Amino acid sequence: QQPVQSPQAVILREGEDAVINCSSSKALYSVHWYRQKHGEAPVFLMILLKGGEQKGHDKISASFNEKKQQSSLYLTASQLSYSGTYFCGTEVGGGGSNYKLTFGKGTLLTVNP
Amino acid sequence: ETGVTQTPRHLVMGMTNKKSLKCEQHLGHNAMYWYKQSAKKPLELMFVYSLEERVENNSVPSRFSPECPNSSHLFLHLHTLQPEDSALYLCASSQLALAGKADTQYFGPGTRLTVL
């Protein structure tokens, strides 16, 4: 079953912050975050494994709440280059099928000057 | 440039045509995937090959036929498609991790398919 992402779309001014959520009805083993710009391939951002781990690089970070079966992606001091569609991919269960990701519908992020 | 290439980038075909999509990965990975991306829908996993063997077929119609001759190449053979099959077809590869560890998938740029 696919994860649910929210919001569906968000518009920011450069320098503002945003949070994108990814929720699952099933117990999650891992959550993967990707960004896709228009006309391009999805690009990997980060993986979070169960255990409540928080990861980040530069001004993009994410958390994974195993109890809530939810992950959140945090974008701080947004830049124009952050524009794109953000997807979460979830891996359920005990991690045995570590190749199968189910993706959410995506969140369209637009950063304006 | 992710190390995964796809050809052609655009394809227009009639419902009676037969065509093939090609994917090549230069990352030394041992797993390859086909995804379908339609407008306003999530990425849909179609096929997974691990060590050149198909391990997942997500209830995909038989008009789509995958082929993985070696760990670097993946094909998707298309025949008698329907207009609703028009979409972006993405190939990805990954290195299958040890049990219990998730892997990162690297995507190609996709083939934009239009079925008339």
Contacting residues for B69 by C-beta, under 8 A, at least 6 apart: B52, B75
Q: State residue A99's pLDDT score.
A: 60
Q: State residue B18's pLDDT score.
A: 93
B11 pLDDT more than 80: yes
Average pLDDT, chain A: 87
Per-residue CA distances from B14 to A40, A88, B11, B65, B109 (Å): 25, 34, 10, 17, 23
B101 pLDDT more than 60: no
Tell me the CB-side half-sphere exposure of residue A107, using CA atoms within 13 A: 27
A105 pLDDT more than 70: yes
CB A85 within 8 A of CB A5: no
Q: What is the DSSP string of B23-57?
A: EEE-S--SEEEEEEE-TTS--EEEEEEETTEEEEE
Q: Which amino acid is at B72?
A: S
Q: State residue B100's pLDDT score.
A: 45
CA B90/CA B92 separation, integer angstroms? 7
Q: A51 CB near a chain B CB, below 8 Å?
A: no
Q: A35 CB near a chain B CB, below 8 Å?
A: no
Q: Give percent of chain A above pLDDT 90.
A: 54
Q: B32 CB near a chain A CB, below 8 Å?
A: no
Q: List chain A residues with CB under 8 Å of B24.
A: none
Q: A32-77: per-residue pLDDT in tens? A: 999 999 888 899 898 888 776 666 667 899 998 888 899 999 999 9
Distance from CA of B104 to the nearest CA of A (A): 7
